[in-house]
A and B are shown apart, each in its own frame.
Chain A
Amino acid sequence: NAGVTQTPKFRVLKTGQSMTLLCAQDMNHEYMYWYRQDPGMGLRLIHYSVGEGTTAKGEVPDGYNVSRLKKQNFLLGLESAAPSQTSVYFCASSYFTVFRKARGATSDGYTFGSGTRLTVV
């Protein structure tokens, strides 16, 4: 099992260029997420998806677009890259879980990809 695979692992872009980050999971997870990691800050949610064909904005969505045409893939697009988008990007996936408080958690948590280090110059 590959788990969650992100491509590419590294990329350098010039300001104004566009690119797409690909996230693929083979665990049949319903939910998928894109986070960015910046020094001194926690992982911040960019966009997420609760199922094929659906996407929603997270905490820091500006400058990014996403698509989930297939359940196993979640694409993150940068239409016009800016230096402020220099970051490490993590994709994650998880099962849909209905938390039944009387019984406790039924989730195994998120499975993360290995990250994409993006530099915009």
Chain B
Amino acid sequence: ILNVEQSPQSLHVQEGDSTNFTCSFPSSNFYALHWYRWETAKSPEALFVMTLNGDEKKKGRISATLNTKEGYSYLYIKGSQPEDSATYLCAPTNTGFQKLVFGTGTRLLVSP
């Protein structure tokens, strides 16, 4: 079982602030990493799937980078909005198909 660590556990920012979170994972036998957004009372929603070292993905104000050699991925949110409030999960896999191991997430609260 992969050891996946996400930091910080929680974060409280003001509307308009930019923020970032970290996902750390073992660099050996890396295959892919997913990011999900999980809003309260809803189900997790896929943000990004990343496989290549140096990958950078972007969706609106949210972007992610991947460093497979050192075993980390960053998620950035530019100009946070209250609707960005959610728990952000990362989930790497070291197998050849999508058998993900989920981190405990970073809980983001954006105040107006």
A-side interface residues toward B, CB under 8 Å? 4, 31, 35, 40-45, 48, 50, 58-59, 90, 94, 96-99, 101, 104-105, 107-115
Interface size class of B (residues with CB under 8 A): 20 to 34
A-B contact number at CB 8 A: 72
In this complex, the member of A94, A98, A108, A109 whose beta carbon has the largest number of chain B beta carbons within 10 angstroms is A109
* A50 vs B55: C-alpha distance when bound (angstroms): 27
* A107 vs B48: C-alpha distance when bound (angstroms): 9
Interface on chain A toward B: helix, strand, loop, or mixed SS? Answer: loop
B-side interface residues toward A, CB under 8 Å? 1, 4, 31-32, 34, 36, 42-52, 55, 89, 91, 96-105
* A18 vs B46: C-alpha distance when bound (angstroms): 32
Task: From known contacts A42-B4, A114-B42, infer whether A107 and B104 are also in contact, taking CB-CB under 8 Å.
Answer: no
Nearest Cβ on chain A to B4's Cβ, whole angstroms? 7
* A41 vs B24: C-alpha distance when bound (angstroms): 16
Nearest Cβ on chain B to A82's Cβ, whole angstroms? 22
* Contact yes or no, B49 A42, CB < 8 A: no
Nearest Cβ on chain B to A66's Cβ, whole angstroms? 15
* Contact yes or no, B44 A112, CB < 8 A: yes
In this complex, the member of B32, B45, B55, B89 whose beta carbon has the largest number of chain A beta carbons within 10 angstroms is B32
* A99 vs B31: C-alpha distance when bound (angstroms): 8
**Chain B residues within 8 Å of A90, by CB:** 43-44
* Contact yes or no, B46 A111, CB < 8 A: yes
